[in-house]
Amino acid sequence: MTKKNTQGGFIHLMIMFAIFSVIVWYFKLDIRGYIDSHAELRDSLNGMIHFLKGVWKNYLEGAGAFIWNNVIIELIWNNLRTFIPAK
């Protein structure tokens, strides 16, 4: 018996978002107008955005700043600058 992979993964989510974006663009769908015309949906989305901002501010901001400053800037960017010729 094989075990089915039930984890979607981040890349899968990004691919689905890209496909959704292309479909919305191709058919010129007015997502903002639809959301504005439905108060329950607008309130739900505003609540979700407020929740995600709170999660970022309270839990992820410190880790994100650490990764940005110590990994991306210090390790990657400073090492790449040695290969960029000076003008």
pLDDT in tens, 24-83: 999 999 999 998 899 999 999 999 999 999 999 999 999 989 998 888 888 888 888 878
Give residue 77's domain range: 10-83
2 inside domain: no
Number of domains in the chain: 1
1 inside domain: no
**Pair 45, 35: CB distance under 8 Å:** yes
CA separation for the pair 87, 69 (Å, rounded): 26
End-to-end CA distance of the chain: 63
55 inside domain: yes
4 inside domain: no
pTM beyond 0.85: the answer is no
pLDDT digits (tens, 9 = 90+) for 7-20: 668 888 899 999 99
